Amino acid sequence: MQMMGVAWRRWRTEVKATSYDSNIPLACVYSPYSSWVGYRSLERLCAYWKATEKSSKINRENGKNKKGTHAQGRTSIPSLEDKFLKENGRKPTRIEIMHLSRRSKKKGGAPVDAEAIRYENLLDEAVQTRLQDMAEGTQAIEVHEDAFRDVFGTEHSGRVRCLGAGALPSQVFPEQCRRSSFYNRQNYHSTLEMTNKFKEMQEQMKKDMEMRES
């Protein structure tokens, strides 16, 4: 249902981009989608868009202010995963997905903004901290999931970060959810302690960046 909702919103966006102009009277609206949507439905859509122009403008401005967001345009998370699998012979971890999806093609593959750089540094630090407590020879990707959770905390109900629409904790972490260890008290407190530690690091890095910019 989430994926259907995303597809529906994307299609409406395309219809609006090709069919709606606030300077044209509704009676004069023409759309290449008229045969699909029906003129009366299109007329109601245009009336709705006109009535919500003010809030749409505010939402667009707020969207421009978002930092560290997905920067691959219409390339979806599953597409990034599939490309990574073909190139590396394994699925990417959530840290690797985050790195891939926050890189700007216009900047030659560099992080999209300062917020993306900050999270990359936090995740790298979390990985190194986890590796210190592991046996010698442990690979970094083996602690990626725990490090990711240290920085971002446990998952919210109904979604999994960095896996796109439709991914649920019960699907991605079936064993943990079945044993209830994913949210149990012991794990909660250990994760909370690590999360608080990285929040402090996050604040310090933010202050350091502000001092450099000033």
Note the pLDDT of residue 156: 72
Note the pLDDT of residue 65: 65
Overall pTM > 0.95: no
| Percent over 70 (pLDDT), the chain | 72
* Cβ count near 198 (within 10 Å): 20
- Lowest-pLDDT choice from 51-65, 120-134, 142-156: 51-65
Higher pLDDT among residues 22 and 116, named by residue: 116
Cβ within 8 Å of residue 177, ≥6 positions away? 169, 170, 183
Position 185 pLDDT exceeds 60: no
Q: Check residue 22 and report its DSSP letter.
A: T
Cβ burial, residue 68 (10 Å; 0-12/13-18/19+): middle
Extents of the domains making up the chain:
2-64, 77-213
Number of residues that make up the chain:
214
**In Å, what is the CA distance from 113 to each residue of 55, 122, 182?**
26, 15, 32
Q: Which residue type sits at 212?
A: R
Assess contact for 26 and 46: CB atoms under 8 A: yes
Maximum mean pLDDT: which of 31-35, 64-68, 132-136, 197-201: 132-136
* pLDDT tens figures, 22-74: 777 766 666 666 666 776 777 787 788 878 887 877 877 776 666 557 777 77
* Cβ count near 145 (within 10 Å): 15
Q: Is the dihedral of CA 70, 74, 79, 80 positive or negative?
A: negative
Note the pLDDT of residue 186: 42
Note the pLDDT of residue 81: 86
Higher pLDDT among residues 102 and 166, named by residue: 102
